[in-house]
Structure 1
């Protein structure tokens, strides 16, 4: 109860937002967005927690990070623009140089009060990521930054960006370049900005049946009943023992020879989610997940490719089939979906989106994305590496694997669900 009262008393005072433009004049152009960018036109936020460094204070952290942002935006200038429509009615970035939005803030407590931020609620995390009021995502800045200083000397960097600008790999490369700039170092990986290498073919050529674009219209009754409930975020831990048990379970019938931790957790979480939703046996259940395309193309995409170089294949089957068959069935579906992602398949999907406009986010039972190996915990602005990171605002039925600091080998997933669905999910996944 004491901890709850302390967290309720958590106050963050923000200064007025300011615009941070590139340090020098940059290209004034309409910047092309690929179809892989366009179907991810949503805001995503990431929080980086930096513990106090006894060697230095955090008094100048805001100024250092703000100045470095102006400098790094010279290289990543599309982030300083705004979304617009081109003559064909497609979204592009108007590289106006208006800049990112930057907010300096001060908390009334020590950073330790936050505890494990992956377990924090939306109300608390919302104080650490600035939200620009807007009636339309087109009017919103593409990048919003908040630096919150704590009494202990620690600080939290909250970064909110439009996902159409960057996937997980790109946002890590951007923030790392920004951090290198803050430390006075040259940028290790300069961005490759030309996204036209991912444009649709003309004429479009749809060569596969793209089940990931299939929109399920038979919505489970539990989902309909919970549509007005508040969203709840919870973190679940898969320790070594749990992962070993699941791997044994998945391989015991001999149909799976080996499987990665991600494949195992994705398959298991999907099955638990389907059970938690109390779906009818004949209802379709759909798992969507992210696959990095950078090495899937021939030749591979250029180093530093800035944009969305991920695709979202899916697994789809009846709920009864998924929940009644051995875990190996779900694991095989995930493995086969991963194997299906090659350049030919993705080019066909890009063309399919060009023609039909449908996307993998149209409807799904669960979407899972792996953030464990992207390098979020290696980003150093001069005050050491972050102690922990988390997502601030993932939407419903989303699941992320979150990187752990230090030598922790546990696999943590962050799940977001409506309140009643979370209770059902929590009861099943922890049994």
Structure 2
């Protein structure tokens, strides 16, 4: 064993040196480069996720070989997902491109001197602790030097283990990432992949010539300035909404007849958008901006997206309104804005956004906004590497402090929706009062 890490929780993790995993066989194509789309270009943070697996009392399968099994399965699945073993570079046009060099994926095995219970609830980001469970190349000085994918398997004294993964978002959105990890877990169980990735991303390239048919305010800087009640440390909290709470919330929203139907996403987004605006004591005359992450897979019709497309198919759209109206009018006002904004996203909107990015090369402006993303469709619990489904999963950190995530399952019943959000301490105290249903 090599590197020794001590985290703030007072326990040690001992890591072995990284092993480079390459596809175990030649890939079925001679593709040397993967051209990334404009939707891939503006989502390029490294997303670090962790998945916990407890040892079951009736499990006779040894945990000693878990690292070897997962490592060998990675070599198998990389035959199909070979771009993940490549290198990120910049083309002469200034765009991100993946060189399919089979450089390989760093894989680390580690041992912790404690039980899994020490980690607590990993749904709440805790970078000081959870970052120890995900390998990051210490020699990488910038994004281009970072591997597109890394993996770490950490065994705990109780017999459980954690699988930590770092994946560059430019390679895959949440649904595509789950497609990869599920194929990986199938390989670990000796099963042929249920689905194979469609790697050609030309279906989402910009049109020639580009056609901008919609305004794309979501990509522009606005004058939305929220007065933060505290510049202190950001704290993360989970808010659970079971089916009773969700039914009550939707009934409240629809009772004045402004809208006649309301999804869970629309209802919760309206609630937290207004609550955050109130918690920050936003001035009445200011503009309140809300960014929404929308999955475009079902909305692309001309032509439809190829089945099992692997990449980013999420687009951004936004609501902007007067903060006074948002805070003082019934919640149905915010819900209607959210609903109309989502309904506006169709095939042409998505292709217009791709073309807009081609012309302007805009970078996202996250400042002074709330960005909402739903992970309710991500099948985290299907990731069985041979030792059962994960008991819990989470992110090491949120990509931006102004982001809220929705997850499936709330409370003991696990039938509702859980909201994860990070706010400054003082704002969080007020937010908790305004979000009460």
Q: Does the pair score TM above 0.5?
A: yes
The question of whether the paired residues in 1 share the 8 Å contact of 2:53 and 2:161 is answered with yes
Q: Give the equivalent residue in structure 2 for 1:9.
A: 10
1:138-196 CA distances to partner (integer Å, 9 max, x unpaired)?
11111111111111221111111111100011000000000111111110110000001
Q: Is residue 210 from structure 1 mapped to residue 213 from structure 2 by the alignment?
A: no
- By how many angstroms is 1:16 displaced? 1.6
Which deviations, in whole Å up to 9, do the C-alpha atoms of 1:225-276 show, x marking residues without a partner? 62xx433222121123322221122112111212111111111111111112
Q: Give the match's secondary structure for 2:235.
A: strand
Asked if 2 retains the 8 angstrom alpha-carbon contact of 1:28 and 1:96, the reply is no
Match of 1:286 among 285, 289, 304: 289
Residues 285, 323 of structure 2: 8 Å contact kept? yes
- For each residue in 1:331-352, what CA deviation from the matched residue of structure 2 results, as whole angstroms up to 9, or x when unmatched? 1111111111111111111111
Equivalent pair of 2:110/2:153 in contact (CA under 8 Å): yes
Post-superposition offset of 1:7: 7.8
> Is contact 1:7–1:113 with CA below 8 Å preserved after alignment?
no
Counterpart position of 1:163: 169
Task: Measure, in 2, the Cα distance between the counterparts of 1:244 and 1:404.
Answer: 15
Cα pair 2:198 2:309 within 8 Å, conserved = yes
In 2, Cα distance between equivalents of 1:375 and 1:250: 29
Q: Counterpart in 1 of 2:21?
A: 20
Pair 1:34 & 2:73 matched: no
Q: Structure 1 runs of 4+ off > 4 angstroms? A: 359-362
Name the stretch that deviates more: 392-401 or 176-185: 392-401
**What residue in structure 2 maps to residue 244 of structure 1?**
247
2:376 to 355, 372, 394: 372
Check conservation: 2:90, 2:96, Cα contact below 8 A.
Answer: yes
* Matched-pair contact (CA < 8 Å) for 2:371–2:404: yes
Structure 2: state its 5+ residue gaps. 1-6
The alignment's C-alpha RMSD in Å is 2.0
Paired residues of 2:225 and 2:368 also in contact (CA < 8 A): no
Residues paired across the two proteins, number: 423
- 1-structure distance, mates of 2:365, 2:63: 41
User: Matches of 2:219 and 2:273 in 1, distance apart?
Assistant: 18
Tell me which residue corresponds to 2:354: 350
Cα shift at 1:282? 1.7
Structure 1 position 214, deviation (Å): 2.5
Paired position in structure 2 for 1:334: 338
Instruction: Give yes or no for the alignment of 1:182 onto 2:221.
Output: no
Pairs within 5 Å for 1:310-329: 310-329=314-333
CA distance in 2 between counterparts of 1:347 and 1:125 reads 38
The answer to whether residue 153 in structure 2 is matched with residue 147 in structure 1 is yes
| Residue 231 in structure 1 maps to residue 234 in structure 2 | yes
* Partner secondary structure for residue 270 of structure 1: helix
TM-score by length of 2: 0.92
How many angstroms apart in 1 are the aligned matches of 2:213 and 2:377? 32
Q: Name the residue aligned to 2:260.
A: 257
What's the secondary structure of 1:203's corresponding residue?
Answer: coil
Q: Say if 1:76 and 1:428 are closer, same or farther in 2 by CA, change over 3 A.
A: same
Q: Tell me if the contact between 1:183 and 1:382 (Cα under 8 Å) persists in the aligned partners.
A: yes
Q: TM-score, normalised by structure 1?
A: 0.93
Please state whether the residue corresponding to 1:113 is helix, strand or coil.
helix
